[in-house]
Amino acid sequence: MTERRNRSGAYSRRLIGPLTTLLLLLSVNRGMSDGSLNDIKFTGKVVDPSGAPIADARIKLTSPQILRSGALQLDATTTDAQGFFSLALPSSWRRTPMSLRQELFVSAAVDGRVGGVAFYRTSLPTPDGLVIRLDSTEKSNLAAVQIVTADGQPVVDAKVTVSALLVDGIHNGVDEDDARRTAANFGRSLESSEVGFIVPKSQVLVCDELQRIQGVTDDSGKVLLPVPASQLGGVQVELEQAGTQLVSVNPWARHEKREWPNRVRLRPTGQLVGRLVHKDVSLTRNQRFTLMSAFSDPGSGVDVSSSVEVVSDVNGQFAAEDMIVGSLFIRGELTMAPEYVIEWAPQEITSGDNEFEFPIVRTVRVSGRIVDSKSQQGVASADVLHTSAAGHKRFPCDQNGRFSLRSAPGELYLLVMSPTGYVLDHRIRQFDVPERESFALPDIELSPLSTIRGIVVDESAKPVVGADVRANWTGRDLRFGTERNQEKLAKSDVAGEFIMAHVDVREGVRLTATKDGRSRILTFAESEVSSPVTMTLVENDRQSIVGKVVDQQGREVANARLHVLHRTLDKNGHWSAVEDLTPVVSNQSATQSDGSFATMPVEPQGQYQLVVRGHRFAPLRTKWLDVTRPNGFDLGTLRIEQVDGIPGSVVDTHGRPVANANVQLRGVDSTSEVLSA
């Protein structure tokens, strides 16, 4: 960290550290673990390019943090003589909602070589099978980088430090289709391994070991960095008189003109003179906070940033030199007045001189409560996260679910972190805070998840041991922040009983039980799983859709034609195209003389719809049927409406009547009727 006096007389302190784009992402740690049984323990191995084990390598388990140099260290160890290591992911990590987690990085460093792997935030380490390969440090394999100015001129005598590496990203907890789709969206290939699906060179590893890897540019602006060129993910370029810029490659950005890693192009800079404004001038003096400017180039997929810590003088003024041209951000609290904040609005730094005023406003004491939507009791283990110019702060709820924070008047965004056993449909909540001393928010409701209990029996009502039971429901998946088809598995015990905890049954849940070729699929509403459910296995779980068709006066309608339509739900909660099954059930596609009908047996998958058509009757289209509901195959009585015919005549081009012509009527729903003239 360097400190110098600027033109306004105030001091600015330039922050030195790997502040890449990833560091702007939030990492939430809900208390370090004490080594409890809930920790996720896993092992791995470090090898060289030939596969030989590497002993005494320093191993660290880390995750990015916001606006800090380095990363949050979760565990550390060294490899043994056979290259093996063991780490523990704290149980607190699993208590952090998926949508708030950041990548997990496992880094290995020894004798100047650094490497690692990244687990995506939707993934967790597997117990074993992890292998980290440290590439050769032969000169031909290293990153020869040229540092140039924005207009392409070499930058001489710049100190260049490696700030980030590109490493393999590991996807697990998702199926191959999801992983392959994610990779393809960003032009990446996909590989399989024991620990999950691997997207090569897709993540940036932030590691404090990298601070030791540095060099100085020569007269042509070039420097040889002791890391493989294919793994270079970010550099910090420090100039004696022109400040520091952090340049990193965005591995997910599609790029047409990427020069990385052969050439690193710096951004032009500007000077900033600012002033804090408030009627009480004492609030504007000696305030310390951080200014950061950032720029992302979509054409090259490269991100550049610079940051300076400033202190306002007796007049509330401060200055920052060599801020890159880009978007300006403010981070930090007012050190002398915690109940006040800097009112910040988006600003752009341009080349040359920039002057800004930043008003100081008094915050409002905001209180709120997180409650159980059913009992309306407070949820003690919930947290809320408040985002402001000062950064991100977490506020835990007390035993009654209450929390309190200070916020500037205007829009307030709270990120609610629901504990295990609860689900929140809208995790980010927005409120309008009025300008007053205090303000009470309306209660924020969390929906409790349910526990399903049941028994699996055969057709003789005897318990079935070891049956596989699967629960499927559509709900908010916290890993992806979207509505998805979710799943939980269980097995029936010696009494045929099973139990599933933390299931979202508000929109119904589908249970599938299977054993030795026998199966049963049933869908239950929320009220129906409050007591134990029974799953009776059958040899062929197919049934006919049955019912009866009558007219408006209750008279049976014979020979009404039936069309059976079918659709299925994919894992992302989207319905497939509608399939017409009528040809399959053609030999049973009309009502009997008493108006009754029974289709050919259909599978209990997806939803079915019947279209009933009768002569001189308006077509009847049923709602989509979930036949996995108890008695879902029985439609009961369907009433169709008799309609008068449409008068008309068919003639030829000479006006003469045409007998025995077929006339087709087409409805607005694309249905049609063929009549005889």
Kindly give the residue spans of alpha helices, DSSP state H, lying in 304-360. none
Which tens digits make up the pLDDT trace of 93-112?
Answer: 766 655 556 788 899 988 87
For residue 380 the two structure tokens come to 């003690």
Whether 505 and 452 have beta carbons less than 8 Å apart is answered as yes
Measure Cα distances from 226 to 114, 117, 164 in Å. Answer: 9, 19, 13
| Count of other CB atoms within 10 angstroms of residue 509 | 26
| pLDDT at position 434 over 90 | yes
- Across the range 449-467, mean pLDDT stands at 93
Distance CA 113, CA 533 (A): 58
- Cβ within 8 Å of residue 140, ≥6 positions away: none
Strand partners, 344: none
Mean pLDDT rounded to a whole number for the chain? 81
Kindly give the residue spans of alpha helices, DSSP state H, lying in 353-497. none
Residue 673: pLDDT band with limits 50, 70, 90: low
Name the nearest CA neighbour of 677 among 651, 641, 642, 655.
651
CA angle 48, 186, 387 (to 5 degrees): 95
| pLDDT at position 222 over 80 | yes
Secondary structure class of 166 (helix, strand, coil)? strand
pLDDT at 350: 94
Which tens digits make up the pLDDT trace of 364-423?
Answer: 999 999 999 889 999 988 888 887 766 678 888 999 999 999 998 988 888 887 777 887
Q: Tell me what percent of the residues of the chain surpass a pLDDT of 90.
A: 34
Strand partners, 597: 547
User: Can you say whether residue 645 is alpha, beta or left, with left for phi > 0 and alpha for psi between -120 and 50 degrees?
Assistant: beta
pLDDT at 4: 44
Residue of 533 and 242 predicted with greater confidence: 533
For residue 164 the two structure tokens come to 């980030």
Distance CA 666, CA 160 (A): 74
CA angle 26, 32, 37 (to 5 degrees): 120
- Cβ within 8 Å of residue 527, ≥6 positions away: none
Whether 472 and 520 have beta carbons less than 8 Å apart is answered as no
Whether 146 and 197 have beta carbons less than 8 Å apart is answered as no
| HEC string for 134-165 | CCCCCHHHEEEEEEECCCCCECCCCEEEEEEE
Distance CA 381, CA 372 (A): 11
pLDDT at 231: 86
Distance CA 320, CA 92 (A): 39
Residue 80: pLDDT band with limits 50, 70, 90: very high
Beta strand 672-676 with 579-580: parallel, antiparallel or unpaired? unpaired
Whether 47 and 131 have beta carbons less than 8 Å apart is answered as yes
Please give the sequence-ordered ranges of beta strands (E in DSSP) within 37-102, or none if there are none.
Answer: 40-47, 58-64, 71-78, 84-89
Name the nearest CA neighbour of 212 among 143, 135, 109, 139.
109
Name the nearest CA neighbour of 235 among 166, 300, 292.
166
- Across the range 526-552, mean pLDDT stands at 86
Q: What are phi and psi of 523, to 5 degrees?
A: -115, 130
Name the nearest CA neighbour of 1 among 12, 21, 16.
16
Residue of 303 and 670 predicted with greater confidence: 303
Distance CA 137, CA 31 (A): 38
Residue of 475 and 153 predicted with greater confidence: 153
Whether 157 and 182 have beta carbons less than 8 Å apart is answered as no
Q: Which domains does the chain have, with CATH numbers?
A: 364-446 (2.60.40.1120), 449-536 (2.60.40.1120)
Measure Cα distances from 169 to 132, 166, 190, 480 in Å. Answer: 12, 9, 10, 17
- Across the range 485-505, mean pLDDT stands at 89
Residue of 394 and 212 predicted with greater confidence: 394
Name the nearest CA neighbour of 251 among 262, 261, 236.
261
| pLDDT at position 636 over 60 | yes
| Count of other CB atoms within 10 angstroms of residue 299 | 11
Mean pLDDT check: name the lowest of 176-185, 484-493, 622-631. 176-185
Residue of 323 and 142 predicted with greater confidence: 323
Most confident of 13-27, 174-188, 480-494, 533-547: 533-547
Distance CA 263, CA 160 (A): 13
Which tens digits make up the pLDDT trace of 1-41?
Answer: 444 444 344 434 444 333 333 333 333 333 333 333 468 89
Mean pLDDT check: name the lowest of 26-35, 210-219, 463-472. 26-35
Q: State CA 284 to chain mean position distance.
A: 40
Whether 249 and 301 have beta carbons less than 8 Å apart is answered as yes
Which tens digits make up the pLDDT trace of 152-205?
Answer: 999 999 999 988 888 888 888 677 777 787 777 767 778 877 788 888 777 777
Residue of 94 and 303 predicted with greater confidence: 303
Whether 439 and 366 have beta carbons less than 8 Å apart is answered as yes
Residue 583: pLDDT band with limits 50, 70, 90: low
